[in-house]
Amino acid sequence: MVKRKSEDAQLSARAATGKNARFAESPKVTKTSKKSQITKPTKTSTKPAVANKDTKSDVEHEPVAIQIVTGSYERVLHGFAATVSGDVIESDKSEEAQKEPTYSDTFLFAAHSSAVRCLAVSAPNEAHKRVLATGSTDERINLFHVSTSPPVVSSKPQLPTLSATSVIENPRNRELGSLLHHARSVNKLQFPTRGKLFSAADDNTVAISRTRDWTVLSTIKCPIPKAVGRPSGDTAGPGEVPTGVNDFAIHPSMKVMVTVGKGERCMRLWNLVTGKKAGVLNFDKSLLQAAGEGRYSSGEGRKLVWGEDGEEYVVGFERGAVVYGMDSMPKAIIRPSPPTKLHQMRIVPAGEGRSILALSTEDGRIIFYDLKTTVEGDKEDEEVPQCAAVGQLGGNQAGFTGRIKDFEVLQHKAGAPLILVTGSSDGAVRLWKCNMSEISEGAVEGEVRQVGTPIGTHETGHRITCLVAFVMDGPAEAADDEDELAQGVPEEAGSDSEDE
């Protein structure tokens, strides 16, 4: 009896101890599991997140949005925004350059009743807008407000489109009106300052308009040239004299302007302070031959551009150009090799006392020339030396053969690589990246070599005649604020400019 009680007591004690052990172990398991589920993952998840964020901020660059506007023979004004990754621009790796920019159409419509000849865009104002001016052969100058804010993808459904390019409308882009003070085709438009618009046309006049109320302040009348034969390539009717201002260039001081016209082998110097003619400089026959003008060429200047420091200016002909100093004496001759036709000239922002000229050609090249450096010519009897070519972009070596009608050179910040936007007659708009160091190395070596890297290509479907582009550096918040109030914008805001 006693033995059984002792056995029962032992069994009950073992059961109690086992039960207590099991209940004591269970909180330990849950506690350790909670600790493993809560504390450990939080530590591992927070530390890498902060580290990744820091490393990304050091490596990634902000994307660059570029507003591109093209005019065409089909009377179409096409505007689209190209968003380029900052890594593509800043990085030197070839695989980064393969990333295609994203494109979004902002406007597309027939702006004129005939072909669009020229475009110009002003500097941004306080409202982060630019004025876009378009000239055509229908004698009209159309004016538009274009926003500088980058495109913002809205939560609203996008407009349907047949192409892969998205459509993002900006309510801040709107039409201002038209100017009708020219009697013939408009050939050149330029905003030298934010408050003035210069326009040249085939009626042999250069008009100066004020952007505040679009009043014509002054009109410079160029003389009609004498009828001496019929130069090749003119569009004058039978019995008429070819007239018109082909191009003009304004000195950075806004005091001097140079013009070249049709039917005359000379350039005219104008005093913008008095609005009167300051002088006439005839082109020498030997100088024209050295610049590529043959026996049956017109010999008229087609393009003009001032250097970055204003110490020299360049007169472009059909197949060459001549660099003049401030004393109106020829300093150098520009003759592309192999010979080809020239279409557009731009000054590259080189800085450091240098002056780099970029030329677009018929065979799909952009050739860079250093206006401060000259080399000996091919012919011994040439009195004027040739300008040194420091590099070329595109062409047969890069696989691009279509002629470049117009182009723009952009730089989104100081010291950043150059972004070149080219427009071809086949309707392709191409973006290129080029470092100034590549051009500088070419200048030191004294040889023409391939520079630049293609970034992307956008097909517009129209035969491009002119092009303008600018970096959209406005605040993105401005576009969102105007998006809600777009329907309530009063018409009186643009009534003054439209009435004028």
DSSP H or E run through 87: helix 86-90
Q: In the prediction, which pLDDT does 39 show?
A: 42
pLDDT in tens, 311-361: 999 999 999 999 999 888 999 999 998 899 999 999 998 777 778 999 999
Quick one: which of 127, 103, 41, 112 has its CA closest to 71?
A: 112
Tell me how crowded residue 327 is: count the other CB atoms within 10 A of its CB: 6
Start-to-end Cα distance in the chain: 125
Instruction: Please give the C-alpha separations between residue 329 and each of 287, 299, 332, 384, 387, in angstroms, as whole numbers.
Output: 11, 18, 9, 10, 15
**Contact by Cβ (8 Å): 331, 388:** no
Distance of CA 378 to the CA centre of its chain: 35
Q: Which domains does the chain have, with CATH numbers?
A: 62-225+245-344+467-499 (2.130.10.10)
In whole angstroms, give the CA distance from residue 204 to residue 310. 26
Q: In the prediction, which pLDDT does 205 show?
A: 94
For 73, half-sphere exposure in the C-beta direction (CA atoms, 13 angstrom radius) is 9
Q: In the prediction, which pLDDT does 338 show?
A: 87
Strand partners, 135: 118, 141
Helices (H), 360-462: 436-445
pLDDT in tens, 233-242: 555 666 667 7
Q: In the prediction, which pLDDT does 270 show?
A: 95
pLDDT in tens, 19-32: 444 433 444 444 44
pLDDT in tens, 96-128: 446 789 999 999 999 999 999 999 999 998 888
In whole angstroms, give the CA distance from residue 381 to residue 376. 11
Quick one: which of 437, 317, 424, 415 has its CA closest to 366?
A: 424
Strand partners, 147: 129
pLDDT in tens, 181-218: 999 999 999 999 999 999 999 999 999 999 999 999 99
Tens-of-pLDDT digits for all 500 residues of the chain? 444 444 555 545 554 444 444 433 444 444 444 444 444 444 444 444 444 444 444 456 788 999 999 999 999 999 999 999 887 877 765 544 467 899 999 999 999 999 999 999 999 988 889 999 999 999 999 999 999 998 776 555 555 666 667 788 888 899 999 999 999 999 999 999 999 999 999 999 999 999 999 999 999 999 887 766 555 455 566 666 778 999 999 999 999 999 999 988 999 999 999 888 899 999 999 999 999 888 878 889 999 999 888 899 999 999 999 999 988 899 999 999 889 999 999 999 877 777 899 999 999 999 999 888 888 766 666 788 998 888 999 888 778 888 999 999 998 888 788 999 999 999 999 999 998 888 877 654 556 788 888 999 999 999 999 999 999 988 875 444 444 444 333 333 333 443 33
46 exposure class (CB count in 10 Å sphere: 0-12, 13-18, 19+)? exposed
Distant-in-sequence contacts of 249-254, Cβ < 8 A, 24+ apart: 249/304, 249/305, 249/306, 249/313, 250/190, 250/192, 250/198, 250/306, 251/306, 251/310, 252/306, 252/309, 252/310, 253/310, 254/192, 254/193
Give the amino acid at 20: N
Look up the pTM and report it. 0.80
**Contact by Cβ (8 Å): 63, 82:** no
Number of H helices, E strands in the chain: 6, 29
